[in-house]
């Protein structure tokens, strides 16, 4: 039986904890005007715990957010998901302004971005990257199509990896039906996460396709210079 947003809000408002993260993803059915919605809470171990998920109309979403207390208690976020709620399978969640910039995978917080530093959560430790002056945030599609990610590129050629995600398909290089359209869908998250990170850092950004030779800049901000061509 479907739980209504009102019933869910009444239950959650009695619980204390971190701000709730509300994620929206447009329904693939254009005629129904429905929106896929997930609501997560962050656990003490910095993992996302799904608190509610469902398909709502825009008025229902407004009711949900209003009931949770407005923007002071809710972080909005984008989500990269291919399966309708209540599926817990997603690739990435990235918080949106005015929330702090955090990137989550299913393993939990992966990257936290502040104005002068980027903190990566590795498997057993945290690593803080100092953002070089005149840096560029580069979203990239790997040369063998297997991975996409985000790196910081300094003016002097320094290259610090911020995030790396595996593209769809365990043996993607052997999938004969996998083509450029599939690749654009798999890496579509770069289009909104890269500018988000660059905005926090006050840097330019670019998205580079390394599957072609020489590498091709597919999108960039006005501040982004041409990239180097010897990325691995």
The answer to whether the CB of 121 falls within 8 A of the CB of 108 is yes
- Domain residue extents for the chain: 1-100, 132-220
Alpha-carbon distances, residue 227 vs 120, 125, 129, 208, 217 (angstroms): 23, 30, 20, 8, 8
Q: What six digits make up the tokens of 103?
A: 């990137």
What single DSSP character describes residue 78?
Answer: E
- Closest by CA to 92, choosing from 106, 76, 82, 102, is 106
Res 151: pLDDT = 94
Predicted pLDDT at 185: 61
The more confidently predicted of residues 114 and 188 is: 114
Looking at every residue in the chain, the average pLDDT score rounds to 80
The two three-digit tokens of residue 86, written as one number: 């209540």
Per CATH, domain 1-100 is 3.30.930: no
Instruction: With beta carbons less than 8 A apart as the criterion, state whether 58 and 39 touch.
Output: no
Give Cβ neighbours of residue 131 (< 8 Å, ≥ 6 apart). Answer: 116, 117, 118, 152, 201, 203
Q: Do 207 and 138 touch, CB atoms closer than 8 A?
A: yes
Is the pLDDT reported for residue 70 higher than 80? no
What pTM, to 2 d.p., does this model score? 0.84
From the list 113, 114, 134, 110, the residue with the least C-alpha distance to 122 is 110
What average pLDDT does range 210-230 have in this prediction?
A: 76
What does the pLDDT read at residue 31? 57
CA distance 45 to 53: 21
């Amino acid at each position: 039986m479907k739980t209504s947003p009102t019933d869910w809000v009444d239950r959650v408002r009695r619980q204390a904890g971190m701000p709730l993260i509300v994620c929206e993803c447009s329904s693939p059915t254009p005629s129904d005007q429905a929106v896929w919605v997930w609501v997560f809470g962050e656990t003490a171990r910095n993992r996302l715990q799904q608190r509610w998920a469902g398909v709502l109309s825009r008025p229902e979403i407004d009711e949900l957010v209003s009931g949770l207390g407005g923007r002071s208690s809710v972080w909005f976020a984008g989500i990269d998901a291919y399966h309708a709620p209540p599926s817990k399978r997603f690739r990435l969640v990235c918080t949106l302004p005015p929330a702090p910039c955090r990137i989550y995978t299913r393993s939990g917080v992966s990257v936290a971005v502040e104005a002068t530093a980027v903190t990566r959560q590795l498997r057993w430790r945290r690593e803080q990257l100092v953002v070089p002056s005149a840096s560029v945030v580069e979203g990239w599609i790997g040369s063998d199509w297997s991975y996409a990610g985000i790196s910081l590129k300094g003016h002097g050629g320094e290259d610090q990896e911020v995030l790396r995600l595996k593209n769809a398909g365990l043996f993607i290089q052997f999938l004969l039906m996998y083509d450029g359209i599939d690749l654009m869908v798999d890496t579509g998250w770069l289009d909104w996460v890269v500018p988000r990170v660059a905005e926090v850092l006050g840097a330019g950004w670019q998205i580079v396709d390394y599957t072609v030779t020489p590498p091709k800049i597919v999108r960039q901000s006005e501040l982004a210079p041409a990239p180097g061509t010897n990325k691995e």
